Amino acid sequence: MKAHLLTIGDEILIGQIIDTNTAWMSRALNLAGIAVIGKSSVGDTAHAIMGGVRHAASQAQLVIMTGGLGPTKDDITKKTLATMFGSGMAFHQETHDRIAAYFHKIGRPLPDSMRDQATLPVLAEIMPNKVGSAPGMWFELEGIVYISLPGVPFEMEYLMDNEVLPRLKSRLSSRPMVHRTIQTVGEGETNIATRIAAFEDGLPEHIKLAYLPALGQVRLRLTGIWPGDVTTDAASILEKELDMKTAELERLIPDVVFGHGDITLQEALGQILTDKQLQFGTAESCTGGYVAHLITTVPGSSAYFPGAVVAYSYNMKTKLLGVNPLTLEHFGAVSQETVLEMAAGARTTLGVDIAVAISGIAGPGGSTPDKPIGTVWMAVDDGHRTLAVKHLFGRDREKNIQLSGVYALNLVRKFLLEQP
């Protein structure tokens, strides 16, 4: 099955927002075995939307639209689709009740505009949106599936995960398809590709490898599609083959693999801390709380993470973490000496078994001739051993903060795994 993604909204055409939805959707559809063969964007007019939908349908059997479903007047997708597909509109009690319940819960009166939100094309199958007001809609006409979703990323993602993908998967599954994902951290896509080139070249026709890079991390995904006639044991044979190939791949790059499937780095670290029954804390300067934030995105992290100190200023480093003012004066805040004292201080202040400290120059200000923007020191201390490393990232403040966070989590993870 081939898909075309159509984003609707002037905000994308004028460049006010960068479209991240379609990249997310492409990856999700690819995982489900659906190829995206085109993407397009149109503005908030009926003429543009109709043109966009026709163009998309000329290319693909699946057209997924996002945007233009809000209760405000510039959102006209719903009416335009109803006109185009020759569908009447009707009040949809279930959607109205869902929206009313939400407003009741937050203690606000139900706005009049919500009656419009619950008035939907009768030809559409309604997909309930539990995280917003506009439901998803599923149309099928002349062998083509048209899906309309809200443009707000978490609403789109909710509907894709809970409604669209399960329906698509159940329609598609003729030949078994199996995915296996390996999560890596600390090595770039190009270096990994070089290290596993022979493996990749040796893969059979029916198994494909994809690289899914993020900042500091790369996911490697093996996808197998059963190549022959479908037998009852086809899926389990294919699964075994994929498991073997995954293990083979992992043996080539054991130093960078941190997990399988959808696990995050902070979850992998949390698992190790739980297994070893250790309490963990952070002392952060340039990351400004980002590492603590990553750790506490994991449900249940309070079991191993009692807290953190963000010590942005010299004074905080001294006062809250006990860093010697002379250390700061002699070596500077971004130095091996300082991060080691910060990590040791965090163990005492937070009363934890192991702590990581990060201090660096995120930019754009703060650099010196020998410490350019992107210089980041980090140290880990468990009361018996210490480890400090220096990184030189790039010039972008946000990326430096994020990369420092990822590398700090990985430093602790590797430190713990090296322990006897």
CB-wise, 26 or 386, nearer to a second copy? 26
| Per-residue tokens: 66 | 């996002």
User: Other C-beta atoms within 10 Å of 61: how many?
Assistant: 13
Answer for the pair 225, 33: CB distance below 8 angstroms, yes or no: yes
Between CA 309 and CA 316 the distance in angstroms is: 9
According to DSSP, the β-strands at 136-141 and 125-127 are antiparallel
In sequence order, what DSSP letters do the residues of 253-300 get, joined into one string?
-TTTEEEETT--HHHHHHHHHHHHT--EEEEESTTTTHHHHHHHTSTT
| Per-residue tokens: 293 | 């934030």
CB-wise, 85 or 288, nearer to a second copy? 288
Find the binder of a second copy among 63, 137, 268, 292 (CB under 8 A). Answer: 292
Between CA 196 and CA 43 the distance in angstroms is: 44
CB-wise, 86 or 365, nearer to a second copy? 365
Binders of a second copy in range 137-196 (CB under 8 A): 152, 154, 179, 181, 189-191, 193-194
Minimal distance, residue 123 CB to a second copy, in Å: 26
Binding mask 330-369 for a second copy (x = CB under 8 A): -------------------xxx-----------xxx----
Binding mask 32-61 for a second copy (x = CB under 8 A): ---xxxxxxxxxx---x--xx--x---x--
Binders of a second copy in range 366-395 (CB under 8 A): 392, 394
Binders of a second copy in range 217-236 (CB under 8 A): 219, 221, 223
How buried is 33 (Cβ within 10 angstroms: 0-12 exposed, 13-18 middle, 19+ buried)?
A: middle
CB-wise, 92 or 180, nearer to a second copy? 180
Q: Please, which residues bridge with residue 387 across strands?
A: 380
Find the binder of a second copy among 33, 176, 307, 332 (CB under 8 A). Answer: 307
CB-wise, 229 or 262, nearer to a second copy? 262
Query: If binding means CB under 8 A, how many residues of this protein chain bind a second copy?
Result: 114
CB-wise, 325 or 385, nearer to a second copy? 325
